[in-house]
Amino acid sequence: QVQLVESGGGLVQAGGSLRLSCAASGSIFSINAMGWYRQIPGKQRELVAAITTGGSTNYADSVKGRFTISRDNAKNTVYLQMNSLKAEDTAVYYCNANINPRRGVGISIREPAREYWGQGTQVTVSS
């Protein structure tokens, strides 16, 4: 089994900062792209930022210059540093990762890649 566990959400005033973390664990052979999405009730989940294994990044226009995505491959962890937060950033933030799982614990056979999601963490920005 593979799990993504997020942390770092909360309540912050407009203009403030938060840092989200997401750690992948379990029977992992390799992790490919990782990213952060967000969702507001009644709306579709949208991409916030993504990062490849090599460190190439992609951001939604609405967060460029304010958010920074990074990853620590040794820790199987992806981060989202959010600065200059606005009320419209309020949402549930979900971690996503494209992962090749192992066939089983201790078995070094790579299974086909699939998408995994975290449980979501609430970010609320008060104006």
* Region for 106 from its dihedrals, namely left if φ exceeds 0, alpha if ψ lies in -120 to 50, beta otherwise: left
Q: How far apart are CA 108 and CA 90, in angstroms?
A: 41
Residue 105 has pLDDT above 80, yes or no: no
Which residues pair with residue 23 across a beta bridge? 5, 77
Q: Look at residue 103 in the predicted model and tell me its pLDDT.
A: 87
Find out whether 47 and 60 touch, Cβ atoms under 8 Å.
yes
For residue 6 the two structure tokens come to: 């997020």
Residue 47 has pLDDT above 90, yes or no: yes
Q: Look at residue 21 in the predicted model and tell me its pLDDT.
A: 98
Q: Look at residue 46 in the predicted model and tell me its pLDDT.
A: 98
State residue 90 phi and psi, 5-degree precision: -60, 125
